[in-house]
Amino acid sequence: MREREVAAALVKRINRLGGEVRKVKWVGLRSSPDRVVMIAPHLTLVASNTVWVELKATGEECTLAQKREHTRMRRAYQTVIVIDSQSGVDLYFPLTNED
């Protein structure tokens, strides 16, 4: 999947779960996550209501600069995940029988 297809799958899933997704533009910072997801923690594998998401094309790796930025954010108690496919969206934001 291309990165934009992964992004579309993420937005569709989060909207279906009743959450919100925002594209993030960082002023003066490179290598920071692409999106922020706001969702009730019980609807996700992640125990947080705010999740920073780095989107990648399928099989693409984060750059060293991105990995360093993710580490800095995690040290500041932020939740950062990397998603590169529909299965990644399914893993972190699963549908329940009620959805």
Which tops the pLDDT comparison, 49 or 74? 74
Question: Looking at the whole model, is its pTM more than 0.85?
Answer: yes
For 5-31, write each residue's pLDDT tens digit.
999 999 999 999 999 999 999 888 889
Domains, the chain, with CATH or none: 3-92 (3.40.1350.10)
Residue 25's alpha-carbon distances to 22, 35, 42, 73, 99, in angstroms, are 10, 9, 28, 16, 31
